Amino acid sequence: MYAERLRPKNPSMMVGNEESRIGFLNWLKNWKKGSKPALLVGPPGTGKTTLVYAAAETLGFVVLEFNASDVRTKERLSSALLPSTHSVSVLGERLLVFLDEVDGLYARQDYGGLEFIQTFIEESNLPVVLAANVEEDERIRKLLPKCEVFAFKRVPPRLIYLYLQNLVKKEGLKISPETLQRLVEKAGGDMRAALNSLQAVLASPSTEVLEVTRDKMMSLRDALNTLFNSNDREEARRALEACDADIIEKIRAIFSSLVNSKLNSETLLKALEALSAVDELAARIKRTQEWRQLRYFHSMLAYSIFDSTPRGVVRFSQDMYPWSVQLRIWNDARVLRSIGRKLGNLLHASSTEALVIHLPYLARLLSLLDKSEVQRILRGFTYDESELRVLNKEISRFSK
Ligand SMILES: Nc1ncnc2c1ncn2[C@@H]1O[C@H](COP(=O)(O)OP(=O)(O)O)[C@@H](O)[C@H]1O
Ligand SMILES: [Mg+2]
What is the domain partition of the chain in residue ranges? 2-151, 157-216, 220-308, 323-396
Among 40, 50, 199, residue to substitute to test ligand 1 (most atoms within 8 Å of Cβ): 50
Residue 27 CA to ligand 1 center (angstroms) comes to 20
Judge residue 250's burial from the number of C-beta atoms within 10 Å of its C-beta, 0-12 exposed, 13-18 middle, 19 or more buried.
buried
Among 2, 4, 6, 7, residue to substitute to test ligand 1 (most atoms within 8 Å of Cβ): 7
- Which has the closest alpha carbon to 208: 242, 244, 179, 230? 179
Residue 45 CA to ligand 1 center (angstroms) comes to 5
Beta strands 38-41 and 148-151 are: parallel
For 394, the enclosing helix (H) or strand (E) is helix 385-396
Chain mean position to CA 373 = 40
Taking the CB of residue 398, how many other CB atoms lie within 10 A of it? 13
Residue 283 CA to ligand 2 center (angstroms) comes to 25
Class of the domain covering 2-151: alpha beta
50 lines ligand 1 (CB under 6 A): yes
pLDDT tens digits for the chain (400 residues)?
677 777 898 999 999 999 999 999 999 999 988 899 999 999 989 999 999 999 998 998 878 777 655 555 556 555 554 443 344 444 455 788 888 878 765 444 444 556 667 777 777 778 899 998 876 777 778 888 889 999 999 999 999 999 999 999 988 888 999 999 999 998 889 998 899 888 878 876 665 555 444 445 678 888 999 999 999 999 999 999 988 888 888 988 898 888 777 787 678 778 888 888 888 888 888 888 888 888 889 999 999 999 999 988 898 886 544 444 445 555 666 777 788 889 988 888 887 778 777 887 888 888 888 889 999 988 888 888 888 988 888 788 776 5
Ligand nearest to the CA of 42: 1
Write the residue with the smallest CA distance to atom 16 of ligand 1.
47
Residue 15 near residue 194 (C-beta atoms within 8 A): no
62 pairs with which residues across the strands? 95
CA 379 to CA 179: how far, in whole Å? Answer: 53
Taking the CB of residue 260, how many other CB atoms lie within 10 A of it? 15
Domain 157-216 has CATH 1.20.120: no
Rg over alpha carbons for the chain, rounded to the nearest Å, is 23
CA 254 to CA 47: how far, in whole Å? Answer: 25
- Which has the closest alpha carbon to 58: 97, 9, 100, 15? 9
Residue 61 CA to ligand 2 center (angstroms) comes to 18
